[in-house]
Amino acid sequence: MASNFWEKLPKPFFILAPMADVTDPAFRQIIAKYGKLARPLAGPDVLYTEFVSADGLVHPEGRKRLLLDLKYGENERPIVAQLFSGKAAKIKEAAKIVKDLGFDGLDINMGCPDKTIEKQGAGAALIKNPKLAQDIIAAAEEGFGARISVKTRLGYSKLEEFESWFAALLEANPVAITVHLRTRQEMSKVPAHWELASQYANKLENVGILSVGNGDVMSMVEAKEKAEQYNLDGIMIGKGVFGNPYFFTGKSRDEVSVEERMRIMIEHTYLFEEYFAGKKSFAVMKKFFKAYIAGHSQAKELQEKLMACENAKQVEEVCSSPVV
């Protein structure tokens, strides 16, 4: 296991963000096939799993279900598992499981605004509890056996919280910190505060922690520009990859024909069934359809038909039939 993979990455590097009910094994395989391996000259990017409950992972019953979310292929390396918890002991135990599964890295979610996550003292709630955040990082590193990374936000309710929150994180000394450049209270309702990126990038550079920026990046051109402009080691991309498996090659969605995107959508849908038939609702797959068919001359009518589909075969049939 290459637990020190962070030090070997080219700069800037580009990461597929962890997204709930998005970056599952099926989606990551599509990205690895059409994005990651298609850009060898740009060096490796990094893929994250969707976030997984550490509390659930250490429970015998929960583990059976959650191990499905932690499946990965060798073509996804370097691959990072993301966990969340408000309990250091659970994180330590779960980190050992992640290590045994052969992951290259471990990341702790300290930015999720979901209320059910926050009630557990996890996600963005940790911004209000920096001592616990430090304990969780230490426990994760003890369990994983290497430095881990953190994904967080600028603050909880105010941008001014940035200074004290980052001081606490720097003391814990994770290998990398990814910042979604908004506060928890802002959710995604305002533009990301990229003007603050260089401030934390410089702080992290001074102490040997890798800096990663995240928020509103919609192309590789923009990702590279932001990394250079703000002195960041890497950029994490989330929604920008929707409907564009070729994102990491530098191609925009509009540069890929809608026919090609629909072909990949069908492939993605069959892959989803292969992994999750009888285990996850097919409705999870439907959040991708609109982005895949963007630009189709009859996108609205096609989307209505796709949203009524209940399996991959029906999706394929809709795509191969004339839209009337």
> How does residue 42 score in pLDDT terms, banded at 50, 70 and 90?
very low
In terms of DSSP bridges, do strands 210-214 and 149-153 run parallel, antiparallel, or are they unpaired? unpaired
If one counts every other C-beta atom within 10 angstroms of the C-beta of residue 244, the result is: 25
Closest of 25, 48, 17, 13 to residue 240, by C-alpha = 17
Q: Rg (Cα) of the chain, in Å, rounded?
A: 19
pLDDT single digits (tens) 100-156: 999 999 999 999 999 999 999 999 999 999 999 999 999 999 999 999 999 999 999
Q: What is the pTM of this model?
A: 0.94
Closest of 153, 160, 159 to residue 133, by C-alpha = 153
Average pLDDT of span 302-308: 96
Q: Going from the N-terminus, what domains does the chain have, and what CATH number goes with each?
A: 5-253 (3.20.20.70), 257-320 (1.10.1200)
- Looking at this protein, which amino acid is placed at residue 140? A
Whole-number Cα distances in Å, 163 to 120, 159, 172: 25, 9, 15
Average pLDDT of span 179-194: 92
Q: Which residues are catalytic?
A: 112
